[in-house]
Structure formats: structure tokens, C-alpha cells
Amino acid sequence: MADLSNLDDQDYPAFTTGQAAKMLGVQEAFLRSLDTADLVRPHRSTGGHRRYSRRQLTLVVRLREQLDEGHTLAAAARIIGLQDQLADAENTIHDLRTQLDQR
């Protein structure tokens, strides 16, 4: 029987470089360049092949969108980092407001 326990795991490294590139419509070299730049660090199989998770593929899409808007790779990474920090702060504020409302 197949083990489907990782099916919903966003961090499970399920996709090869070729599969990821095809799904996202990017070149494999683009994915490798993100690895080299230390922006998307895929898991390595026992044979040394890159394996990407769904969370990493989402990040690749976000980076590609920023690059398509004309930002440099460094700027794209910074923008995404700031977007993520803002989302975390908004979630914290929401949680704190919920706690205050329960008092």
C-alpha cells in the first residue's frame, strides 16, 4: 500500500528540478540560479539531485513575479521578505486583538 502521509505536507520535497521547471514555466537554470543565490535551497536526494517542496515552488513563483516587474533578484528577495514580515505582524496583531476581545 502506498504511503500518502506526505501528501498534504507543504515542505515535503516531492518535485525534481525538471518537474518544477515545467510546472512553473521557467528554465531549470533559473531554479539552479536561485539555489546558487541561496534564495531557494532545495532538498538533495541521496543521489545529490535537487527536490523542491510546494512551499519552495510558491516562493519561486513570487520571485519570478517580482523579476517580471523589473526588480533585481536582490530587490525581489527583499520585497518578499518584507511582505512575509508584514503578514506575520498582521497575524500577531489579529491574535492579540482576539485575546483582548475575549477578556
The percent helix, strand, coil of the chain (3-state, each to 5) is 60, 5, 35
Classify residue 39 by its DSSP letter: S
Q: What is the pLDDT of residue 3?
A: 64
Q: What is the pLDDT of residue 2?
A: 56
Query: In degrees to the nearest 10, what's the CA dihedral of 33, 21, 52, 65?
Result: 70
Tens-place pLDDT, residues 35-75: 999 999 999 989 999 999 999 999 999 999 999 999 999 99
In the chain, the percentage of residues whose pLDDT exceeds 70 is: 96
Q: What is the pLDDT of residue 39?
A: 95
Average pLDDT, the chain: 93
Distance CA(14)–CA(52), nearest Å, equals: 6
